[in-house]
Chains A and B, each alone.
Chain A
Amino acid sequence: MSATFVREQLVAPMEQPRSNVGTPAWLQQKLFGSVLNTVVTIISAVIFAALVWPAIRFMLIDAVWDGSSRVDCLAETVGRPVGACWPFIAAKFAQFMYGFYPAEEVWRINLTYAIGIVLLAPLLIPPVPYKVLNAILFFGVFPVVAFYLLIGGVFGLPHVETRVWGGLLVTLVITFAGIIGALPIGIVLALGRRSSLLLVRWFCVIFIEFWRGVPLITVLFFATYMLPFFLPEAWKLDPLARVLIGVILFAGAYMAEVVRGGLQAIPRGQYEAARALGLGYWKMMAFVVLPQALKLVIPGMVNSFIALFKDTTLVLIVAIFDLLGQLRASFADPNWATPVTLLTGFAFAGMIYFAISFAISRYALYVERRLSTGVAH
Chain B
Amino acid sequence: MDNDPSKAAAPARDIRTTRNEIAVDMEGVNKWYGAFHVLRDVNLRVMRGDRIVICGPSGGGKSTLLRCINRIEEWQQGRVVVDGVELTEDLKSIDEVRREVGMVFQQFNLFPHLTVLENCALAPVWVRGMSRKEAEAIAHHYLERVRIPEQAAKYPAQLSGGQQQRVAIARALCMQPKIMLFDEPTSALDPEMVKEVLDTMVELAMDGMTMLVVSHEMGFARQVATRMVLMDAGQIIEVDEPGQFFTNPRHERTKAFLSQILH
Residues in chain A within 8 A of chain B (CB atoms): 267, 269-270, 272-280, 283, 287-288, 291-292, 295, 374-377
Contact = CB atoms under 8 A, between A and B. Distances in A.
Given A269-B107, A283-B126, A376-B155, A276 B113 contact: no
A278 B125 CA distance: 11
B95 interface: yes
B261 interface: no
Nearest to A284: B126
Contact of A277 (B107, B113, B156, B175): B175
Given A269-B109, A375-B155, A276 B72 contact: yes
A212 to B, nearest CB: 29
A377 B113 contact: yes
A104 to B, nearest CB: 50
18 contacts: A269-B107, A269-B109, A272-B72, A272-B105, A273-B103, A273-B105, A275-B72, A276-B103, A276-B172, A277-B122, A278-B175, A287-B122, A288-B122, A374-B158, A376-B112, A376-B113, A377-B112, A377-B156
B113 A278 contact: no
B95 A280 contact: yes
A287 B103 CA distance: 19
Given A276-B101, A276-B102, A376-B113, 12 more contacts: A273-B105, A274-B111, A276-B70, A277-B171, A278-B175, A279-B122, A279-B123, A280-B91, A292-B111, A376-B112, A376-B155, A377-B156
Contacts of B103: 273, 276
A273 B157 CA distance: 17
B237 to A, nearest CB: 27
A278 B155 contact: no
Contacts of A374: 158
A277 B112 contact: no
Interface in B89-113: 91, 95, 98-99, 101-103, 105, 107, 109-113
Contacts of B91: 280
B155 A279 contact: no
Contacts of A270: 109, 111
Given A270-B111, A287-B126, A377-B113, A276 B98 contact: yes
B213 to A, nearest CB: 15
Interface in B185-202: none
B127 A277 contact: yes
Nearest to B99: A278
Contacts of B95: 278, 280
Given A277-B175, A377-B157, A272 B127 contact: no
Contacts of B172: 276-277
Given A272-B105, A279-B123, A288 B175 contact: no
A269 B63 CA distance: 13
B70 to A, nearest CB: 6
Nearest to A295: B113
Contacts of B110: 273
A351 B90 CA distance: 60
Residue among A274, A275, A276 having the largest count of chain B Cβ atoms under 10 Å: A276
Interface in B172-223: 172, 175
Q: Rank and list the top 8 A-B pairs by shortest CB-CB distance, nearest first.
A: A273-B109, A269-B109, A277-B123, A377-B112, A278-B98, A276-B103, A278-B127, A278-B99
A377 B155 contact: yes
A277 B121 CA distance: 11
A279 B127 contact: yes
A269 B104 CA distance: 11
A275 B98 contact: yes
Contacts of B175: 277-278
B122 A292 contact: no
A279 B125 CA distance: 10
Contacts of B155: 375-377
Nearest to A375: B155
Nearest to B103: A276
A269 B126 CA distance: 19
Given A277-B172, A279-B126, A269 B113 contact: no
A287 B111 CA distance: 9
B113 A291 contact: yes
Nearest to B102: A276
A272 B112 contact: no
Contacts of A275: 70, 72, 98
Nearest to B154: A375
A276 B70 CA distance: 7
Contacts of B105: 269, 272-273
Nearest to B107: A269
A48 to B, nearest CB: 41
B163 to A, nearest CB: 16
A275 B175 CA distance: 13
Contacts of A291: 113
Contacts of B112: 292, 376-377
A292 to B, nearest CB: 5
Nearest to B106: A269
A292 B113 contact: yes
Nearest to B126: A283
B71 to A, nearest CB: 9
Contacts of A377: 112-113, 155-157
B130 to A, nearest CB: 13
Nearest to A275: B72
B25 to A, nearest CB: 20
A271 to B, nearest CB: 9
Contacts of B122: 277, 279, 287-288
A130 to B, nearest CB: 16
Residue among A270, A274, A277 having the largest count of chain B Cβ atoms under 10 Å: A277
B16 to A, nearest CB: 15
